[in-house]
Amino acid sequence: STVVDSRDDVVSFKLAQLGEGIKECELLSWSVKVGDPIEAFQTLCEVQSDKASVEITSKYTGTVEKLHHSAGDIVEVGAPLADIRLQAADIPAALSEDTRAKHSDRLGKNIQPQPERAEGGAVVAVPLAQTGEGIAECEFLSWKVGVGDPVEAFQPVCEVQSDKASVEITSRYSGRVAALRHRPGDMVAVGAALLDIELPPGEAPPGAGGGAMLGAELPPREAPSGEGPPPPLRRKAPVLASPAVRRIARESGLDLSAVRGTGPGGRVTKADALAALSPAGSGGERAEVAKQGPPAEEAPEAGEGGPRKGETPLTEADEPWREAPGAEARTVRKPLRGYARAMVKSMTEASRVPHFYFCDDLCMDRLVALRTRLKADPRHARLTYLPFLIKALSLAMSEYPALNSQLSGDGSEIVQFSSHNVGVAVATPSGLVVPNLKNVETKTVEEISGELVRLQELASEGRLEHEHLTGGTITVSNIGSIGGRYAMPLLNVPEAAIVALGRTRSVPFVDSDGGVVTRAVMGVSWGADHRVVDGATVAAFSNAWKALVEDPEAMIMRLR
C-alpha cells in the first residue's frame, strides 16, 4: 500500500497483507537506513508473522526518508513502515495537476502526456487481479503469450496457481505484449504487474487522460530482427539468506551482498557467513571472494533455480545439520506451492481445534450386494460405495443438523447450514485437495456418483476452481482406498466434522444362532470440533448414519 505524502514526492510505504488472518507482524530488522538510496524490488526490511518470516521489498526507486519502527516493534497490517522520496520517474500518476506543475522543471517529460510514440502507443501494465477471497499471492505457472505477440482483450495471457485453484488470467486490453515480468515458479502478489501491453497508436490507457502511464520509462525497443523479440528487463535479485544468517551478519557487521553464496541458487549459508568472517577463511580464497563479492553475471535471478520469492526461510533450528560435510548435497528442499501449501495452512489451523474422536465398524454386506446388482448395468459401471455413504451422511445430518455447523469467526455463535456441501479428500500429484459436492440433500445417488467423477477428474488435471474448494460443511476422507482400518482425522477447518473411511475387510462374526459367519466390515473414524458438538451427539449421529449404510433399502423411503 502507498500513501502520497504532503511533501508531494514522498510516499509512505505500508505493511501489506501477508496472508489470510494475519493482522500484525514483528519487525525483525531493517536492510536500509535513513538517507540510503533504494531501488524497486530491493529488500527494505524483514518481518515475522505468526506463520513465517518475510522479506518486504520496495515498490519504488528513490531515497529512504524515514523509518517508522525499530527492530522488535509489532507493526499492524496497513501501518506505515518507511517513507521514500521518489525519483522523478516514479512519482505516482495520482498526483494533482498543481503538484505536476510544481515539479515540471525537475521531472520534465516524465509527467507530460505521451499520447503516442513513434513505434507504437502507450504502454499499460496488466496486474494480477484478486482470484478469490483471502488470496494474497499466487504461483506463476506458465505464459500463453510471448514478447511481441499481438493480444486481444479477454484473451488468456498466463496461468497462475493460488492456494485453492489454478486460474487463467486474461488481458484487459488489446495491443502487443511489450514485456513479461515473471517466470514459471515465481510467487506474484495480488496487484503486482504481470506483463506490459503496448496499446494501438492513439489509444490512451483508461484513466490516464490521454497520456501514457506515469513511471519509469521502458527500455528502448529494438528494431525487429530474425533473432526474435527482445527479452524482458531483468532486475537485480536480493541476497538469499535465512534469518539466522542475517542475524549473524547484523551482529558482526558483515555485508551479505559481498559474500558469495554456495547454497542452492546462490543462497548465503551459515558456513559462508562464518567463512567470510574468519581471517583465514578457506585457504584464504573464500575470504578474498567475500571481500570482492560475486561477479555481476553470477548474481542469481529471481525464479532461476534455488529458492524463489515466497519460500519460507530457514529457522535457526534448521541450521546445525548444515555444518556436516556433504549435508547440502544429500538434502533436497522443495518449496511449498499450490495445494500442498494450502494443506499446510489448513492443518496448522486444525491442530489448534480441540478434537473429539469416535470409531465404529459398519457391516457392508447389504451395500456390497446392492452395488453388485447395480453395476451389472453398463450405465453404473463406475459406481462405487462412496455415493451411497455420502447420501446416507446427508440423510443423517437432516436428523442431527449440529454436525452441519461451524463456530463463527469470533467464537460468539454456532452457524448451522441448511445446505449439505460434502467435501471429499482427493490425492493429486500437486498434493491433497478437498473439493466439495454442493447441496447433496437434493441429489440422487446417481447424481452424486457423476459429480464425484467430475470433481476427481478436475482435481487430477489441476483444473479445480475457487467455487469447488470453498463452502464445504463436512468432509469425507477415503483412506481405505490406500489401506488401513482407522485414523485420527484432522478437521477441514472451519467445518465441525470429518469422517475417515477405512478398508472394507472380511471378518468372522458369531450370528444369533451361535454359528460363525463372514461379514464385510468397514472401520470408520470420526473427528469433530468439541466446541461445536459433544461426544454423545457424534455417537448418535454416527449410529443413524450406520443404520442407513447397513440397510441401504431403507434410504429409499427418505430419498427426495
Q: 36, 255, 318, 534: which is the annotated catalytic residue?
A: 534
Rounded CA-CA distance 48/134 in Å is 19
The amino acid at residue 315 is T
Are 188 and 182 in contact, with CB atoms under 8 Å apart?
Answer: yes
Rg (CA), the chain: 29
Are 388 and 528 in contact, with CB atoms under 8 Å apart?
Answer: no
468 tagged catalytic: no
Element (H, E) at 528: strand 516-529
Q: 68, 355, 380, 530: which is the annotated catalytic residue?
A: 530
Partners of 159 in the beta sheet? 142, 168
CA atoms within 13 A on the CB side of 556: 5
Residues in the chain: 560
Sheet holding 43-48, edge to edge: 53-57, 43-48, 24-30, 74-76
For helices 386-399 and 535-550, give the axis angle rounded to 10 degrees.
130
Q: How, if at all, do strands 474-477 and 497-510 pair? A: parallel
Q: Which DSSP state fits 7?
A: T
Rounded CA-CA distance 503/485 in Å is 5
Rounded CA-CA distance 552/560 in Å is 15
Rounded CA-CA distance 418/409 in Å is 19
User: Which cell is 525 given?
Assistant: 473414524
Rounded CA-CA distance 523/391 in Å is 18
Neighbours of 422 (CB within 10 A): 28
Element (H, E) at 45: strand 43-48
Partners of 268 in the beta sheet? 241
Partners of 160 in the beta sheet? 140, 167
User: Phi and psi of 252, rounded to 5°?
Assistant: -100, -10
User: Which cell is 218 given?
Assistant: 521502458
Are 487 and 502 in contact, with CB atoms under 8 Å apart?
Answer: yes
Rounded CA-CA distance 380/382 in Å is 5
534 tagged catalytic: yes
- Angle at CA 552, nearest 5°, toward 550 and 556? 150
Rounded CA-CA distance 158/171 in Å is 9
Give the residue numbers annotated as catalytic, written as ranges.
Answer: 530, 534
